[in-house]
Amino acid sequence: MTDISPLTHFVRKLNGHVDLSDEDRAMLLGLPYSERDVNASAMLTREGEAPGSCTILVRGFACRHKLALNGNRQIVSLHIPGDPLDLQHLYLDCADHNVQALTRASLAMVSRGDLRRVAQQSATIAQAFAVSNLVEASICREWVLNVGRRSARQRLAHLLCELATRLERHGLVIEGCFELPFSQEQLGDATGMTAVHVNRTLGFMEDDGLISRKGRSYEVPNWTALKDEAGFDPLYLHLNQQGAAA
Amino acid sequence: MTDISPLTHFVRKLNGHVDLSDEDRAMLLGLPYSERDVNASAMLTREGEAPGSCTILVRGFACRHKLALNGNRQIVSLHIPGDPLDLQHLYLDCADHNVQALTRASLAMVSRGDLRRVAQQSATIAQAFAVSNLVEASICREWVLNVGRRSARQRLAHLLCELATRLERHGLVIEGCFELPFSQEQLGDATGMTAVHVNRTLGFMEDDGLISRKGRSYEVPNWTALKDEAGFDPLYLHLNQQGAAA
DNA sequence: CGCCTATTTGATAGCCGTCAACCGGAGTGG
DNA sequence: CCACTCCGGTTGACGGCTATCAAATAGGCG
């Protein structure tokens, strides 16, 4: 398979969940899609809407978020290239959260009908979709733990571990360095903290040598130390089944 | 269908997610199962295990929970009669959380093979399983918001609203009264608070007339007031599609 | 009646939110 | 080229919500 299809990362992700056959991969890579570029902070879905087609994040970062009464925002998941952004709408008609781009992003729009079709033609693909949704749910459970029962420093450490692990699978971590194009306010919205406290806490973590930062790129000199600090166990990411090339 | 099958509540719940045909309901109610009674706080699944069969909660209450490094526990979901407890293990091999009974409970154990079979025979049932998992994920997202961005009082108010709404569908709320057989420590584990603070906060809510309590039974004199306090919008429960009798 | 658990209440400490100000870089327009 | 603006990051002071520690009370079950 050529590596230039916008769906490559998506297929690679699915292949990490189940063992796709060559035909499965071909079928997925052959899905008709239209590309769409959006600016940073573009709203992709609003709570209560019924999205028409399914979106796959090709380039850039996005999040799901919900709002409390007082306007406080809570990010409930972060998404990297290759992540489907509304696979759940194959089965649910109404969006229960907002989806928003965090950076400039490229999207591949695939029709629900076409996705349903490939899922009907291949039980393995259907299972891959199911697993994708279930892994998202597992990550969400870990976030409840993160936000509910860990200190500010542990929350951030854990988030960094998770994102690094997920990015690594797409080759986006090089020698412990990776780029997280999130503002500190966004990091706070993901961890249930204020931007000010994110700033301070990252500063302390840097003082302690857990991380080093330059702008929004992060370097982790000692992964073991960071993971121990966070209590990070990648089990919940369900990556055990290593997929090969897409 | 007779109303005495242990699977009745389960089928009714699925029927609330999709429109099951009469044959679908008959197929589900005809699933072979073995019943099992467990004591309060019995562990049903442990993180890291690979459950053999699927469990449906027939009577009593249960929860999923995870532990932080320091031993702090976070309950990530609460379950009432009719809820499947490991439907996700039709697709995932490894449990990413613990499942534990909170009261004495009756379980219906169904083999993964049998469940897979009915899902293959009826696309509607397969969809119902998918929706069940997705609704659980939606509830989990709401919990992230709850724990991350709401005050202690709002968290408890929201939890009460959610549980009352879910219980109501099974006829377990009578004139604003319902029974929540959870200790205050468990309520704290679900909302990211300590038992002491749960106690105080419930006391203040009672002082303010939002709820009244006798032991572990709760009465809500004014639902609108409680929902306003919590910022409760039942959209995320995806109950729009009202199922009829099971 | 006695044990054990859950609930309740009090006192204290600390993490984190809030408010506010300042700084720095990127983009814009004169 | 420089001034201006804006947004994000940084730092400080202060307060409040909630955790922690501790002890007393109540309730369930043998």
pLDDT surpassing 50 at residue B135 = yes
Which residues of chain A does B72 touch, with a Cβ-Cβ cutoff of 8 Å?
149-150
Pairwise CB contact (< 8 Å): B66 & A142: yes
**Rounded distance, CA A3 to CA A5, Å?**
6
Which residues in chain A are closer than 8 Å to B94, comparing Cβ atoms? 235, 238, 240
Inter-helix orientation angle B152-168/B123-149, to 10°: 160
Q: Are B191 and B152 in contact (CB under 8 A)?
A: yes
- pLDDT value, residue A240: 66
Helical (H) or strand (E) element with A55? strand A53-59
The answer to whether the CB of B95 falls within 8 A of the CB of B51 is: yes
- Stated pTM of the model: 0.95
Q: Do A76 and B141 lie within an 8 Å CB cutoff?
A: yes
Contacts for A150 with CB less than 8 Å, ≥ 6 apart: A158, A230, A231, B68, B72
CB count within 10 Å of CB A69 equals: 14
Contact between residue A53 and residue A111 where contact means Cβ atoms under 8 Å apart: yes
Mean pLDDT of A207-225: 96
Residues A37-57: what's their mean pLDDT?
92
Mean model confidence pLDDT for chain A = 94
Does A196 contact chain B (CB < 8 Å)?
no
Amino acid A61: pLDDT: 97
Confidence of residue A1 (pLDDT cuts 50, 70, 90): very low
Q: Is B74 on the interface with A (CB under 8 A)?
A: yes
Q: Is A221 exposed, middle or buried (0-12, 13-18, 19+ CB in 10 A)?
A: exposed
- Chain A's closest residue to B86, CA to CA, is A134
CB contact under 8 A, A97 and B134: no
Residue B116 pLDDT greater than 70, yes or no: yes
Q: Does B194 touch chain A (CB under 8 A)?
A: no
What count of other Cβ atoms lies within 10 Å of the Cβ of residue B190? 27
> Band of the pLDDT at B122, cuts 50, 70, 90?
very high
A63 sits within 7 Å of strand C by its CB: no
What was the pLDDT predicted at A243? 44
The C-alpha angle A164, A166, A169, rounded to 5 degrees, equals 105
- Report CB contact under 8 Å: B127, A72: no
| Token pair for B79 | 């379950």
The per-residue pLDDT for A244 is: 43
Per the structure, the residues numbered 140 to 159 in protein chain B that have their CB within 7 angstroms of any atom of strand D are: 151-153
pLDDT at residue B170 greater than cutoff 90: no
Considering all nucleic acid strands, name the nucleotide whose C1' atom is nearest to the C-alpha of residue A41: D7
B215 beta carbon to strand D: under 7 Å: yes
Position A189 pLDDT exceeds 50: yes
Choose among A167, A39, A188, A172: nearest CA to A102: A39
Read off the pLDDT of each residue in A22-37 and give the average, rounded to a whole number: 96
Q: A154 and A55 in contact (C-beta within 8 Å)?
A: no
3-state secondary structure of B85: coil
Tokens of B131: 């929706």
Cβ-proximal residues to B153 (8 Å cutoff; 6+ apart), any chain: B201, B204, B205, B229
Residue % of chain A over a pLDDT of 90: 91
Determine the residue type at A98.
N
Task: Report residue A157 as tokens.
Answer: 């450490």
SS3 A43: strand
The 10 Å Cβ neighbour count of residue A13 is 23
pLDDT confidence of residue A231? 97
What six digits make up the tokens of B197?
């603070």
Q: What pLDDT shows up at residue B241? A: 58
Say if residue A84's pLDDT is above 70: yes
Q: Are A155 and A147 in contact (CB under 8 A)?
A: yes
Q: Please report the number of interchain residue pairs, chain A to chain B, with beta-carbon separation below 8 angstroms.
A: 135
Closest Cβ–Cβ partner in B74, B140, B236 for A140: B140
A179-188, B13-22, B49-58: which range is least confident on average? B49-58
Burial class (CB in 10 A: 0-12, 13-18, 19+), A93: exposed
| pLDDT band, residue B245 (cuts 50/70/90) | very low
- pLDDT for position A3: 60
Sheet of B98-101: strands edge to edge?
Answer: B43-45, B98-101, B62-67, B73-79
Q: How far is CA A93 from CA A9, B17, B18, B70, in A?
A: 26, 11, 11, 40
* Residue type at position B42: A
Q: Kindly determine whether residue B133 and residue A138, on different chains, have CB atoms separated by under 8 Å.
A: no
Residue A245 has pLDDT above 80, yes or no: no
User: B106, B65 in Cβ contact below 8 A?
Assistant: no
Average pLDDT over residues B185-200: 98
pLDDT value at position B164? 97
pLDDT band at residue B243, thresholds of 50, 70 and 90? Answer: very low
User: Of A187-191, B36-40, B148-152, which gets the smallest average pLDDT?
Assistant: B36-40
pLDDT average, residue stretch B211-223: 95
Interface of A with B in 135-174 (CB under 8 A): 135-138, 140-145, 147-150, 154
Query: Does residue A57 contact residue A101 with C-beta atoms inside 8 Å?
Result: no
A195 CB and strand D closer than 7 A: yes
Name the band, by pLDDT with cuts 50, 70 and 90, for residue A99: very high
The answer to whether A192 contacts chain B (CB < 8 Å) is yes
Q: Give per-residue burial for B2-19: e unless 16+ CB within 10 Å, then b.
A: eeebbbbbbbbbbbbbbe
Give the closest-approach CA distance of B242 to chain A in angstroms: 14
Distance (Å) from the alpha carbon of A4 to chain B's nearest alpha carbon: 30
Other Cβ atoms less than 10 A from the Cβ of A87: the count is: 21
Cβ distance B74 to A144 less than 8 Å, yes or no, reads yes
**What is the average pLDDT score of chain B?**
94
- Look at B72 and A149 and tell me if their CB atoms are within 8 Å: yes
CA atoms within 13 A on the CB side of A175: 0
Question: What digits encode the pLDDT tens for the residues A122-142?
Answer: 999 999 999 999 999 999 999
Q: Which amino acid is at B62?
A: A
Distance, angstroms, CA A213 to C1' D3? 31
pLDDT band at residue B246, thresholds of 50, 70 and 90?
Answer: very low
What is the helix (H) or strand (E) element at residue A78, kind and residue range? strand A73-79
- A141-169: per-residue pLDDT in tens? 999 999 999 999 999 999 999 999 999 98
- pLDDT given at position A170: 86
